[in-house]
Structure 1
Amino acid sequence: MKAKDLYSPRPKYMAKSGCSFILVELLLLQCLSHLTISFGQGYDFFYFVQQWPGSYCDTKKSCCYPTTGKPPANFTIHGLWPNYNNGSYPSNCNADSPYNATKISDLLGKMEVDWPTLACPTNDGTRFWTHEWEKHGTCSETVLDQHSYFEAALNIKNKVNILKVLEDAGIKPDDTFYKERQIREAIKAGIGYTPAITCNTDPTKNRQLSEIYLCVDASGKDLIECPKFPNRCKRPPLQFPIF
């Protein structure tokens, strides 16, 4: 048997095997790259949610004012919630990162005004803020630490004065009823971005303006158009109740 008969098949086999190995390696690297991006951020955008205290309190469940007293008649922060573009969302992402008031001590005074609790029994807001951080904030922790998370929400609130925008458009919290479209278009005209509006029902079955959803980019800094809207009120008109 000639030498080339003994050795010629081997280089061909090795060439095929080598190509296959390189292809598998490239696929693995691509998968790891996608995983790194996914775990590195873990969400696509935020919902920034503000609630109207008059509507919160005007339900069968009612409300309790915080230990600091009755909040001002203004929209207050409900939360800053990481979301995916498909409408789903992460939650409770890090049990090893509990709420720690000492990390946000410089923000607490502002939070008592802009992010107060209305839950009963009367309390200082710690349970509310704990819930918001542990359910939602921990899922943005690769981008925003605990201090940055709460600060980001407060900064957005300072940028967006929803009540002034509505009042400038003649929409006032005086128990008047307004069309959902009227409220939505007034906010879009005032801030440049389309909101989503949710509602609740008072004890007499009136539909009320409850919450305003705006969307914020993954950095927690800038408003964006919402990639996905939550379910909006479909049975107008909506009452804007006195608080």
Structure 2
Amino acid sequence: MKPLRSCSAFIISLVIIVVYEARAGHSLSRKPDRGYYDFFYFVQQWPGAYCDSKWGCCFPKTGKPAENFSIHGLWPNFNNGSYPQNCDNLNRNPFDKSKIVGLIKRMQVEWPTLSCPSGDGFKFWSHEWNKHGTCSANVLNQQSFFQKTLDFKIKSNLIQHLSDAGIHPNDGFYRAEDVEAAIEDGLGVTPYLECNFDKEGNSQLFQVYLCVNKLANAFIQCPVMPHGRRCASSVQFQSFSRF
């Protein structure tokens, strides 16, 4: 009987080793939910185009925003063009406005919501954190995620770079390549322009994408461009003052 016992012990030991290695291998190969990204898209939108689109718009409860680009978000992305989202599956780190108390007034100016019905911004910011911010939470906590995004708005200064090139929000039409060149001259990186279309079919400057490195401390050349709606060769820079 001794050989049988030895054989049984060997089989049990082998099974334990196989199970352990399988679990270890699964653990090593599983991609982490947070921090697994390559860069960010920093996205700003033009309120004039938003309000002239099929979506319509409602001004925030804090009043009509200034005629300037506003923040849409800071979105982690992969170099292959895909992106992570909703990385806090267990809801351990939900949006908490108490963590951004010192930023709220600034966010209401630089990061307002134009969706209807009118809001105070918290629903919009909660969506941005829960969908995008949680995927970079091991690099940026909630406070730093919103702080960094606000700072990139100032650093980009899109309206000034366009103005310096003679491009103004006056309902006029400009060559898309001139709009890109004005931003690239000002920032040293190539932007991606996204357009929407009004009822007449005009291609309107809607969103500007800039790329930011993984640590969120500098603009970089985009590893890959977004898949948003490309602009026609001529784009309208819609006025926001008439809304």
Instruction: State the AA in 2 paired with 1:126.
Output: F
**CA shift in 2, pair 1:127/1:39, >3 Å:** closer
Distance 2:28 2:153 in 1: 33
Does 2:70 correspond to 1:76? yes
TM-score, normalising length: structure 2: 0.84
Which residue in the other structure is 1:43 paired with? 37
**CA shift in 2, pair 1:33/1:61, >3 Å:** closer
Which residue in the other structure is 1:165 paired with? 161
Which residue in the other structure is 1:93 paired with? 87
CA shift at 1:233, angstroms?
A: 1.8
Which residue in the other structure is 2:59 paired with? 65
Q: Structure 1 unaligned runs (5+)?
A: 1-27
Query: Is the Cα–Cα contact under 8 Å of residues 67 and 122 in structure 1 kept in the other structure?
Result: yes
Between the aligned residues of both structures, percent identity stands at: 50
Where 1:107 maps in the other structure, the secondary structure is helix
Of 89, 100, 103, the match for 1:104: 100
1:71-117 CA deviation, whole Å, 9 max, x = no partner? 00000100000000000000000032211100100000110010000
Which residue in the other structure is 1:224 paired with? 220
Which residue in the other structure is 2:18 paired with? none
Which deviates further from its counterpart, 226-235 or 86-95? 226-235
CA shift at 1:142, angstroms?
A: 0.8
The alignment's C-alpha RMSD in Å is 2.1
CA shift at 1:153, angstroms?
A: 0.1
Size of the aligned set, in residue pairs, is 217
Does 2:236 correspond to 1:242? no
Of 191, 196, 212, the match for 1:195: 191
1:147-197 CA deviation, whole Å, 9 max, x = no partner? 110011011111110000000000110001111111111110111110000
What does 1:101-180 align with in structure 2 at a 5 Å threshold? 101-180=97-176
Does 2:230 correspond to 1:233? yes
Instruction: State the AA in 1 paired with 2:134.
Output: T
Distance 1:236 1:118 in 2: 27
TM-score, normalising length: structure 1: 0.84
